[in-house]
Amino acid sequence: MINIVVLASGRGSNLQAIIDAIERKEIDGRITAVISDVQGALALERAQMHGLQPVTISYKEFSSKAEYEHKLLKTLEELKPDLICLAGYMRIVGAEIIKKFHNKIINIHPSLLPSFPGLHVQKKALEYGVKFSGCSVHFVDEGVDSGPIIIQAVVPVLDNDTKETLSSRILEQEHKIYPKAIQLFAKGKLKIEGRQVKWQN
């Protein structure tokens, strides 16, 4: 059973999907802490409701990104996670943390990477006129949503879609594939070869 730390900045719907999957015994792991960079984030309330350790490291309380990252790194080192899951964490993870936890940090992104990295993803997809969008779980490297892809789900873009309707349908798929990716990691079934992530039997 692996120890998981979740980083979240907002409402934590993907955190909830992970919690639910663990409670259904679909993930061989446990969440040892939920860390948020935002004081009072709903994700922290979700953690408390399920008896998980909520940790606030408010970005606003630090004079620089370097100081914030140093505190976050020290906290993660104390928690000793086997896997760090970004679930709506709205900051780019610093190089020191990525180096310390190499290939142990994963993220969920609401597009079919490498298309539309970064923010405002559904707006970009609709403006570009794509016929399919979706979501991707990937390992985190020093780029923006650029690490090796573990799993993806495809969502058709409908003619009458808005940012909200497309986002909602993509989010449904996020809640399915993120726990699956975590379980693949927990069972030691992921092998990274260059940019490819291969699933082992």
Give catalytic residues, as residue numbers.
Answer: 109
Q: Strands 196-199 and 190-193: what pairing?
A: antiparallel
State the chain's maximal CA–CA distance in angstroms: 49
Q: Would you mind telling me the total number of residues written for the chain in this entry?
A: 201
Could you tell me the CA-to-CA distances from 115 to 25, 39, 74, 111, 151 in Å, in that order? 33, 32, 34, 7, 15
Distance of CA 10 to the CA centre of its chain: 12
Buried b (16+ CB within 10 A) or exposed e, 71-110: ebbeebeebebebbbbbbbeeebbeebbeebebbbbbbbb
* CB contact at 8 A, 62 and 94: no
